[in-house]
Structure 1
Amino acid sequence: MAIKGNLQLMKEINTAMIMNYLHRNEKLTRAELTRMTKLSPTTVSGLIEQLIGRNLVEIIGEKIMPGAGRRALSLQINKNGGYVVGVSLNVHVLTCAIMNLHGEIVTEYRAKLEVGRKPLADQIYDAITACTAQTSEFRQDSMMGIGISAPGIIDERAKTIVYSSQLKVTNFDLHKILSGMFPNVPIQIVNDSNAAAFAEHYFGAGKDLDNLVYLRIDDGIGAGIIVNSDIYSGKKGAAGEIGHIAVDPQGEICKCGQVGCLETVLGSPYVLDKCGTIAAQIGVAAPESMEELLARYEAGEDWLEPIFDRILYVCKVMIFGTVQFLSPEAVIVEGWINRSAKLMEKLNASVETSSFPFVFSKIGLMPATFGEKGALYGSAALMLQKIFSASVLK
């Protein structure tokens, strides 16, 4: 059936369009919404009244308009008209947060992560329940969506964790289990790097950029890809799994069994182990943490220079390959590398002097806005996007 023939669908699309404009512009009048949406004044007013009745939109006062003293009522999204839940699963910690409709974190809950099918599902349920109990104004019927970010290969279409070595699950239909625990609540499961990339695109360093790549260089290596404002996850969600690209045939054996994976060069546990081995060989104290290692590199300890020169070279190769292959507007970097001003300065300088087929360096490399909480913000932001740009307004 053509869209024009489906009045209910048209109403949902128009409602979502109004919500999206209000969300992106914060405050608008009915006249401004009429102009932006190209809908009739009668249609806009009718939909606004319904949204006000459903507590999703509120009137916040008068706005002076062009003309002789003309005034109009300003409207905005009612931030407490609904909530979304974000859940981030990483190597050690489960973090759960409630976000209001203005994208503000209302409350947060953290616990040591448990792995395996049943422990993981039960812990997510317990975390969401505990988190919602911390918010006095939260009502069960105000939960408009649950977004979950997880490490590993996530089939976002099938909403299944295909494989996650960190969570110790394979072909795990987490969505089915959680849907039974939270009936009638939209649930989305997304790869953690993709979630973090979306957070940067939605309201972070890459806001308003249509194409960007998020690189996580930490204990593990991963990439999140935004193409034309949407997450690109590839077949079965495997896009961005770059940590096990072999870059050094003479390198160390990776936990995956291959030799010289990107993770063995840039992953923080491998970097720390490498420095410890060399420190023992030359008779200096081994750094006990990445914070200590970076402080000593910043202080100019000579023996660390060749180690970090190799890291810099591999980072350059990774970033150059990303730029040449995907042509993003920006590459956003998160992880231990951001904590070294010296290393980031060298990396930025190498980008500035490189010859790309277009001017990439105008934006170039940018540090991530949300740090280690990127995946948490992204999992919730994905649900906000669904509310404000899709027909999920039940």
Structure 2
Amino acid sequence: MKEINTAMILNLLHREGRLTRAELTNITKLSATTVSVLIEELIEKNYVEEIGEKYAKGAGRRAISLQINKQGGYVIGISFGNHYLTCAVMNLHGQCIAEFKTKIAIGNDPIAEQINVALCNCLNQVDSLEMELIKGIGVSTPGIIDSNGEVVLFSSYLQLSNFNLKDHISKAFPNIPIKIMNDSNAAAFAEFYSGSAKDKSNVIYLTINEGIGSGLIIDSQIYAGFQGAAGEIGHIPVDPGGEVCTCGARGCIETVLTSPFILKKCQQIALEQNVEIPLTFEDVVDRYEGGETWLDPIFEKIQFITTFMIASATNFVSPEVIIIEGWMNQSPKLLDKVKQAVQAFPFPIRFNSDRILPASYGDKGALYGAATLMLQQIFSASVLK
């Protein structure tokens, strides 16, 4: 019971930032004596610190505010993306104090070696970092993770197969907690915990770039589904005569909404219509925003399929908010049309367009989510004993 109460206090301080003993007593419903005893122990262990009096009107003794001591330890976050591997050292406030970024490798062995290099480079940036101050390592990666959170069973983009990621990292960091998670789930958690979806219990997170990923928060918990395969919304077929998807099927949502397929389609049509051929996807978006009408049919289809995807997911999950990360946030014209179309969709409960929000962490959501999940696990674990 003491460990549960301690974890509850630490998680409250971590999420809320600053609280007084009286506020902790009121929120937790523990006795003032219990809260005081636990706080003194946490201060002694260097996990919590007093930061001065909290402002209050009137006379009388003012309460002392408390917060997590950011120097009480560190977590390491590692994020595998489609283009880069990023490694970061963060303090107990989740603030990044060192970062190393490199172009991502492909395959089990090359990525394993790259992890070693990234960890070494990142840790060397932090002066006098002792091993006992590293409280945990959180890793996010595309693909399907086994139910134990140790093995990347499959990642098509990174060509990973049965890669025991936890075992590999544990060889260099024995006895340190390690958490492996899907990148979209990690990013969804970052937005839920301290981003655009803070204080929401049911969230759909969509990332739309070179591929499509989605993360689900249901009743304030990550929902990974059977064998971690939930959220593969990008591989729902919507165009029987469309392009062949990376998964091998034809006409998946990914073949309509992701940047490589859109660029290819726009280049083909530009050639047919004898207009200047766009060389980059950014050029396509800029020219659509600029009003080049030859792009309208392509983006009308993009808008229709995006609306279909969001409406389908909403009917299944009924989220409070839908968070979007990726290229669509660079196209206000398209995003406004999507919001209008979703709002007009005949849901059983009215959907207001302000429930569709941009990701506050951008493309770093998976990195911060992995670290934040690790922090939450640390603050609930026996490592504090």
Aligned residues: 385
Deviation of the 1:151 alpha carbon: 0.8
State whether structure 2 residue 98 is matched by structure 1 residue 125: no
Separation of aligned partners in 2, 1:363 and 1:388: 34
SS of equivalent residue, structure 2 residue 379: helix
State whether structure 2 residue 267 is matched by structure 1 residue 270: no
* Partner amino acid, structure 1, of 2:117: D
| Matched residue, 1:318 | 309
Contact 2:343–2:350 (8 Å) recurs in 1: no
Query: Structure 2 matches for 1:40-51, cutoff 5 A?
Result: 40-51=31-42
Separation of aligned partners in 1, 2:378 and 2:8: 10
Separation of aligned partners in 2, 1:300 and 1:311: 16
* Partner amino acid, structure 2, of 1:185: I
State whether structure 2 residue 152 is matched by structure 1 residue 161: yes
State whether structure 2 residue 178 is matched by structure 1 residue 202: no
| Matched residue, 2:367 | 376
| Matched residue, 2:355 | 364
Cα distance, 1:78–1:292 mapped onto 2, change above 3 Å? same
Deviation of the 1:256 alpha carbon: 2.1
SS of equivalent residue, structure 2 residue 297: helix
| Matched residue, 1:146 | 137
Separation of aligned partners in 1, 2:272 and 2:342: 34
- In the superposition, the TM-score normalised over structure 2's length comes to 0.95
Separation of aligned partners in 2, 1:127 and 1:188: 17
| Matched residue, 1:6 | none
Separation of aligned partners in 2, 1:124 and 1:156: 22
Separation of aligned partners in 1, 2:190 and 2:17: 18
| Matched residue, 2:87 | 96
Cα distance, 1:178–1:104 mapped onto 2, change above 3 Å? same
Pick one of 344, 347, 369 that aligns with 1:353: 344
| Matched residue, 2:226 | 235
| Matched residue, 1:215 | 206
Unaligned runs of 5+ in 2: none
Separation of aligned partners in 2, 1:136 and 1:309: 53
State whether structure 2 residue 68 is matched by structure 1 residue 111: no
Q: Percent identity?
A: 55
* Partner amino acid, structure 1, of 2:343: E
* Partner amino acid, structure 2, of 1:337: M
Deviation of the 1:318 alpha carbon: 0.3
Q: Deviations over 1:200-227 (max 9, x none)?
A: 1111110111001011111001111111
Pick one of 53, 62, 67 that aligns with 1:62: 53
Unaligned runs of 5+ in 1: 1-9
RMSD (Å), alpha carbons:
1.7
Contact 2:149–2:179 (8 Å) recurs in 1: no
Separation of aligned partners in 1, 2:204 and 2:120: 34
| Matched residue, 1:5 | none
* Partner amino acid, structure 2, of 1:363: D
Deviation of the 1:391 alpha carbon: 4.4
Contact 2:206–2:215 (8 Å) recurs in 1: yes
Contact 1:161–1:170 (8 Å) recurs in 2: yes
